[in-house]
Chain A
Amino acid sequence: MFPAVATLLVASACSSNSSALSGQNDAPVAARDGGSIVIGAEQEPDCADWLGTCAGSIWGSYTMQVGTIPAAFDTRKVDGKWVPQASDLLTGDPAVQTVDGKQTITYRINPKAVWSDGTPISSADFAYTALQVRDGKDIFEKSGYSDIANVATPDPKTAVVTMQTPYASWRDLFSGDYGVLPAHILDGKDRDALMKDGYTWSGGPWIIQNWQRGTSVTLVPNDKYWGPKPHLDKVTFQFITDTAAAFQALKSGQVDALYPSPQLDALSQIKAGVANTKSQVDPVTGNLEAIWLNNTKFPFDSQTVRQALAYSIDRDAIVKRLFGTIGVDKAAQSFFTPIVGGFGESAFGKYTLDLGKVTALMTGDGWAKDSAGFWAKGGKRASFAVETLAGNKRRDLTLQILQSQFTQAGFEMTIHDTTSATLFGTTAPNGDFQAGLYTLIDTFPEPLNLASTFASAAIPSQANGYSGTNFGRVNIPGLDAVLDQIDADVDPAPRIAASKQADQMLADAVPAIPLDDVPNVLLWSARLGGPISINPSEGPFWNLSEWGLAQ
């Protein structure tokens, strides 16, 4: 499907996948049938209407969506790389054609596929889902679906989706954030009301037995599932929002697995060790932390300054300081996160700490150091503030290290704590910032975020109601055309070539500086068996049906 997917991805995984944690590379322990387990969940989903604006919680996807909502494409590891792969909901890869500028995608549905009430999964379900997203009001994300012209249902097992314009990331449709919903249950009804507190139907291996708000979600096997049945009789996700308490719960046997965010307190707990526990640290992730520069604000309105800035820091040292205890020590070298790494190059790899190059670039651009040792030009010092969300200790530490390194290189950096509302609601859309430290998140192995982050059309402006997310006002000559090709070219080879070109252009222009791919960490009790591992797109519980109690 993706013949040229990412050599970078492999390089990234191997280069920093070593870990001091126990059991990471152990062979899977065979799982037996029966029994139940409890998994600690650090967040409770806000709701289970996956299409609605109340959704968007990654833990909603982990705990309920992945196990109950059938998807056209799964993210699976093929030849060591995570790629979209037609799921067993379909009979095979959909047929894709582009005629007269319109793309049609023909999905053929597995005759065995049924909902938990025995009703066959049909083309009507595809049509219902597509039109709900395209035309619905309370919808979280319409990207891709808003370009659907129509959905034909020539027979119950064939759905033909026609796009108004070619959509290269078409595999994200009926996959990724949404999947396929049952028309016979939801059509003509209030979808949000029927789904938001959990639903009693399923098209996956699990069915939601109970969602006790604030406490837990319990899944039990879906007897009508057409694929392999789960080993376990019951899985309960218990919401434990306090990191320290969650680790104590794992130590005391109250929970059997944890998937903690790699914040400093969690990392120190992991470093201290958890007895009778196995773990996996996976740097192949969709979360990229970067320093985002406002390309229209002094001093970052100069490409030379931005390049000099990139040469001013030892990004590997920062990553080692942050994640070295769990064996991750390589900086991110692209705006294609590792799960879409096949589309990019290690273009930022050329930027390593080199104060000589900083001096050459800055002096060549007319800068000179002032009495305090900072670069200045025309009476203005190369001084900037970095916006960061208050309360995130890992980012605080990152900024403290950056501040020290920038100072040595002659840049004066200050830290400005802010709130999410202020940063993403006002400051960033209005462009009232110089730099910010925040995360770009990919949840599907397609380059869905690149255009919304770097295309000039996505620069927030009065014309678009300040709704774009190109907060850095990036406007690199020639880049828009390349990004358009990435979004529209359904032919994988030229699309990947365009992606790599975009990666190089971004590295040359340095509109922002990638720092680290935030690693994923999974810990589980030694009493568990099965092929337990992290899926960077679908989460750690993507193959929960294969988990069980150890034989």
Chain B
Amino acid sequence: MLTYAVRRVLLSVPIVLIASFVLFVATRATFDPLGKLRQSRDPSVLHRETIRLGLDKSVPEQYFLWLKGFVTGDWGVSTRTGGDVRKMILQALWPTLQLIFWGIVFAVIIAGFIAIYSAVKQYSLADHTLTALSYVGIALPAFWFGLVLIQLLAVLPRQQFGLTDPLLYFVGLHSPGQSGFNLDYLRHLVLPVLTLTITLVAMWSRFGRASMLDALGSEYVRTARAKGVPRRRILLRHAARNSLAPFVTVVALDAALLFGGLVVTEQIYSIPGMGRLFLDSLLTGDVFVLLPWLLVVAAAVVVCNLIADIGYAILDPRVRLR
């Protein structure tokens, strides 16, 4: 398994390098790190900054200089903030990890229950209802759904009941001056996690249902039934466990995408995570943040893929990793 993991990591290196070069060239061609200086009254500032940031060099030369620094541990300095890029990315990673963690925990639990229930009650009214709701959930755009949740669960209750504070907050993960795991944190967490969870539940419950139906229709479940194994035991020990393997794969792969895919959720809820860092850096042409950002997200994808593969092997003894 170790050999497999090392090989997977090594195989991902050239892909990540190519992706980073493409991103570098595309960002340089599209966005301008000197944008806010372009209309300065001081005619010399552009020249000074071009030299200072090395923008007078060719794009490939700039890229290789950055890469050389990166592999020797120098993540560089943001052209936007002048800050240390490693620190910026680590700071952004923490709120995103929190959202991903809570989103996955709730989505797995809820989607798992819905999947089992829908599969067991296939073609019932409840199954049809849950199916219809899942399609709605998949179709809901996060930017719209987030704002609807804010209106319904934060603004309206305060106005209707004359509360001094809203029950649920939607700006950041803490109120000013607060920190840590406390009630304030939970009141901030509910809406962004709900926004994130709805789509995940909708997708994963569909996938889980199909997987569960496959398992329930398999020969080993039929054999277990014929042998008189109790229904609950068949569902949980035989069908659910076997349907878990593909489900875990999907969860792990989707989790990987979330590392860089929470732009909208983080924007609506003013959460300074990886998505917002990407957006801010992209719009200001801050390629020295974008490249390490890409590598961190790529690393997350590689790790999540590995977790998926390993998880599959653990849950399904027939699978061996080579």
Binding site for B on A (CB under 8 A): 38, 40, 44, 46-47, 49, 52-54, 56-57, 137-143, 146, 192, 196-197, 213-216, 218, 234, 236, 238-242, 244-245, 248-249, 251-255, 275, 419-422, 424-425, 441, 448-449, 452, 458, 464-465, 467-469
Contacts and interface: CB of A to CB of B under 8 A. Distances in A.
- Greatest chain B CB density within 10 A among A241, A422, A449 is at A241
Max chain B C-beta neighbours (<10 A), residue from A239, A241, A242: A242
B35 A424 contact: yes
18 contacts: A53-B37, A54-B81, A56-B36, A141-B42, A196-B83, A239-B272, A245-B146, A245-B270, A248-B170, A252-B155, A252-B170, A275-B159, A424-B38, A424-B39, A425-B34, A448-B41, A449-B41, A458-B43
A452 B171 CA distance: 41
B285 interface: yes
Nearest to A45: B81
B47 to A, nearest CB: 5
B41 A141 contact: yes
B268 interface: yes
Interface in B107-129: none
A216 B280 CA distance: 16
Interface in B128-176: 146-147, 150-151, 154-155, 158-159, 164-166, 169-172, 174, 176
A215 B52 contact: no
A249 B43 contact: no
Given A38-B176, A422-B32, 18 more contacts: A46-B80, A46-B82, A47-B82, A47-B83, A137-B52, A138-B52, A196-B81, A197-B83, A236-B176, A241-B276, A245-B147, A251-B159, A255-B171, A421-B285, A424-B38, A465-B43, A468-B43, A469-B43
B38 A46 contact: no
Interface in B244-282: 267-272, 276-277, 280
Contacts of B164: 253
A143 B39 CA distance: 13
Contacts of A236: 176-177
A241 B270 contact: yes
A538 B300 CA distance: 44
Contact of B91 (A40, A214, A238, A249): A214
Interface string B168-203: 011110101100000000000000000000000000
B72 interface: no
A46 B39 contact: no
* A interface: dominant SS: loop
A484 to B, nearest CB: 15
Interface of B: 30-32, 34-49, 52, 80-83, 88, 91-92, 95, 146-147, 150-151, 154-155, 158-159, 164-166, 169-172, 174, 176-177, 267-272, 276-277, 280, 284-285
Contact of B42 (A49, A142, A248, A422): A142
Contact of A252 (B48, B52, B158): B158
Contact of B166 (A234, A254, A421): A254
Contacts of B42: 140-143, 146
Contacts of A248: 147, 150-151, 154-155, 170
Given A47-B81, A143-B41, A424-B39, A241 B267 contact: yes
Given A52-B82, A419-B31, A249 B171 contact: yes
A460 to B, nearest CB: 9
A430 to B, nearest CB: 13
Nearest to B167: A252
Given A241-B267, A441-B39, A141 B45 contact: yes
Given A196-B82, A214-B91, A421-B35, A53 B154 contact: no
Given A252-B155, A254-B166, A421-B285, A238 B172 contact: yes
Nearest to B77: A54
Contacts of A421: 30-32, 35, 285
Nearest to A468: B43
Contacts of A449: 41
Contacts of B43: 452, 458, 464-465, 467-469
Given A196-B83, A245-B171, A254-B166, A238 B159 contact: no
Nearest to B146: A245
Contacts of A139: 45, 48
A46 B81 contact: yes
A140 B38 CA distance: 11
Contacts of A424: 32, 35, 38-39
Nearest to A53: B49
Contacts of A44: 280
Nearest to B88: A213
Contact of B267 (A242, A253, A452, A464): A242
